[in-house]
Amino acid sequence: MEEKKPESTNKNVKKANLLEHNSIKHILDESVSDIVKSCGYKEDVRLSNMKLILGTVIIVVALVAQFYNKKFPENRDFLIGCIASYVVLNGVLQLILYTKEKNAILFTYPPEGSFTSTGLVVSSKLPRFSDEYTLTIDSADPKSISAGKSVQLTKSVTQWFTKDGVLVEGLFWKDVEALIKDYAKEGEPKKKK
């Protein structure tokens, strides 16, 4: 008779390689997205969809140029037009990434039933060779009258990980929720005295 091994009680443990910068940032960013969504914010995927569509058009232009050039090598004008289109579309994509996305990990709609008409832009930084993780929450539309002031949290990642690389989700959850509450408090209309 075969013995069954006891199953782990915590199947969803988030573990990072503490020697790998990207592993740590990925785990934290993924957790931030989960926490923000659990606070009633729905993800706004319009920018992601626009990038996917633009990327698909860029690939199609590159494929057309490649195969057209093989079939009709004498027609250089069409090839030059395809190359120019490819360069321009790539430039547009890079401009979107630089101006809109920056370090953003999540764009949201405003929570349902909220007085605000703008969602959030959640961004993070974990500089190379540093243990300081910075999480920033901004308004998705900073020019809106209901936009809150930007709030930021900077802490050492050693505060949230065990020596084995396991994320202590309770501590991290508490810090991120407090930051979301700070943002909501900054955006509330001030009471008149």
The predicted model gives 7-28 an average pLDDT of 80
Do 180 and 39 contact (CB within 8 A), yes or no?
yes
State the pLDDT at residue 8.
Answer: 44
Q: Give tens-digit pLDDT for 157-176.
A: 999 999 999 999 999 999 99
Q: Give tens-digit pLDDT for 68-113.
A: 777 777 778 888 888 899 899 999 999 988 888 888 999 999 888 7
How far CA 121 is from CA of 90, 93, 106, 127, 185, in Å, comes to: 24, 19, 6, 19, 16
Is 191's pLDDT higher than 70?
A: no
How far apart CA 177 and CA 136 sit, in angstroms, is 12
Q: Where are the domains of the chain?
A: 21-44+108-187, 47-101
Give strand ranges (E) for 126-189: 132-139, 151-156
